Chain A
Amino acid sequence: MKIEVDIVKRLRSGEKEFLLRSQFSTTDRALVLFGPSGSGKTLTLRSIAGMLSPDEGCIRINGDVLFDSAAGINVPTRQRKVGYVFQNYALFPHLSVRENIGFGLKPLFGRLGHREGERIEELMEVFGLAALATQKPAALSGGQQQRTALARALATSPKLLLLDEPFSALDQPLRVRMRRELSRALKDFDIPLIMVTHDSDEVEAFAETIVVYHHGRVEEVHSARDFQTSEASLTETLRSQVARAYL
């Protein structure tokens, strides 16, 4: 898995201007974009998914060009084959758990195929949602909503999974449990991921590569492997990053 991002985006809201300059490249399968809120992590994630068009630059995954301003390429979101788990999950409120998970498998006109139907049942089983199949998202707990969102994103077999602060909507004890559950599920599905977070515990739980954001720029890129051989500890480094970010 090779992910290359090199983009520039100017955003204006009223008097304020925000400049995002995001550049990194990695071959690791688990990438964490780390930094305080408003530092450009989520904007980067949205650009990779195609929900936001950068002003210039390029985005490549395994050599496939998703965006290239010079060549005039901007692959639409629906063709990018990326799964996306939103910060507040964005489950379709008018559909049941089963319909949410099967959303990407069902054609606009017509019914679900037999194989697709089985895949949905299997996913609900894996994520412990089988008993909730006919419930609407509003009736689910935070953890159940997160599992539904994850199952929905994985149902279409994406090449890459993007997670935007996946634990921020959960309270602390649940967060620890869901973190364990998520990392187990991701190992089972064997899918490369990019996660956005401002929580250093999550970096330690998931990251192979850490991209540190500050004021719209990439400050540093670390590989978790470096820390196994060097003197510096990952925890220490992250702590100093956090301290700097909130200065």
Chain B
Amino acid sequence: MNLLWINITDPAFLTPLLLTLKVAGLATLWALVLGVGAAYALSRRDFFSRDFLDAVFTLPMVMPPTVLGYYLLVFIGRRGIIGHWLQETFGVTLMFTWQGAVIAATVVAFPLVFKSARAALEGVGAQYENAARTLGQGELAVFLRVSLPLAFRGVLSGGMLAFARAMGEFGATLMVAGNLPGKTQTLSLAVYSAVQAGNNALANTLVLIISIVCVVILVTTSKLLKPRH
């Protein structure tokens, strides 16, 4: 048995990898939809609670993941405000499920999409949007045909950062979804368990894969954000 690396077809490695891709992929999708929506709403209207909402939406970026996990327990936990209702009405619980892990990852990834989408949307000249309006376009068409395509690179780079963040999510996920091998154990949780168990070969392989993915994402993002000439 190799003590340094394990075979990448080993289920001990493959199972958390596939689960992580599923959780991080779905969380990124949700973060994109919600983040771009929130950024659009805030860049459009000048209401007095705008700065407050901006702060609230950015909060998950600076708060300790365990605190976020605690908030999530308050909301979607078995006795939580939404969790209790879900349990009563549908008999569904999100605690200790991979869906719960998706929610935790979405919350931590959301601000990354929100911040970059907001900057990108505000960078789109009002003139292009006005030009589209004089050409008979409604607000949805203006957004989909002008604002979003022109802000696309910023939104995409935010989405990639969100994916990297969702992939590495540990604290909130642990509190909401636990660390159940084969069920809610994602890569970063698997690294922790492997180190605790003294399985260095597994830890090495997991760490290497995570590092490669993160480097690729960061390099691509900085390429996306470089101004074109």
Contact = CB atoms under 8 A, between A and B. Distances in A.
A94 interface: yes
B134 A94 contact: no
Contacts of B135: 78, 103-104, 152-153, 155-156
B138 interface: yes
Contact of A103 (B127, B130, B132): B132
A92 interface: yes
B31 to A, nearest CB: 24
Nearest to A81: B136
Contacts of B201: none
A221 B161 CA distance: 59
Contacts of A153: 134-135
Contact of A90 (B125, B137, B140): B125
Given A94-B150, A108-B140, A108-B145, A78 B127 contact: no
A38 interface: no
Binding site secondary structure of chain B: helix
A77 interface: yes
B130 A104 contact: no
A92 B133 contact: no
A92 B140 contact: no
Contact of A94 (B138, B140, B144, B149): B149
Contacts of A84: 130-131, 134
B141 interface: yes
A51 interface: yes
B128 interface: yes
A104 B146 CA distance: 12
Nearest to B125: A90
Contact of A77 (B125, B130, B141): B130
Nearest to B132: A103
A83 B132 CA distance: 10
Nearest to B126: A51
Contacts of B131: 84, 86, 90, 92
Interface in B74-119: none
Interface residues of A, number: 25
A108 B136 contact: no
A190 B131 CA distance: 22
A93 B131 CA distance: 12
A78 B146 contact: no
A77 B133 contact: yes
B224 to A, nearest CB: 15
B128 A90 contact: yes
Nearest to A86: B127
A83 B136 CA distance: 10
Contacts of A92: 128, 131-132, 146, 150
A115 B132 CA distance: 21
A49 interface: yes
A160 B145 CA distance: 24
A101 to B, nearest CB: 10
A108 B130 CA distance: 16
- Interface-central residue, B125, B134, B137, B149, by most chain A CB under 10 Å: B134
B182 to A, nearest CB: 43
A76 interface: yes
Q: Which 3 A-B pairs have the closest CB atoms?
A: A104-B135, A77-B133, A84-B134
Given A78-B138, A108-B145, A156-B136, 4 more contacts: A49-B130, A90-B128, A93-B128, A104-B136
Interface of B: 125, 127-128, 130-138, 140-141, 144-146, 149-150
25 contacts: A49-B134, A50-B133, A51-B130, A77-B130, A78-B137, A78-B138, A81-B136, A84-B130, A86-B131, A88-B127, A90-B125, A90-B127, A90-B131, A92-B150, A93-B150, A94-B150, A104-B136, A104-B137, A108-B140, A108-B141, A108-B145, A152-B135, A153-B135, A156-B135, A156-B136
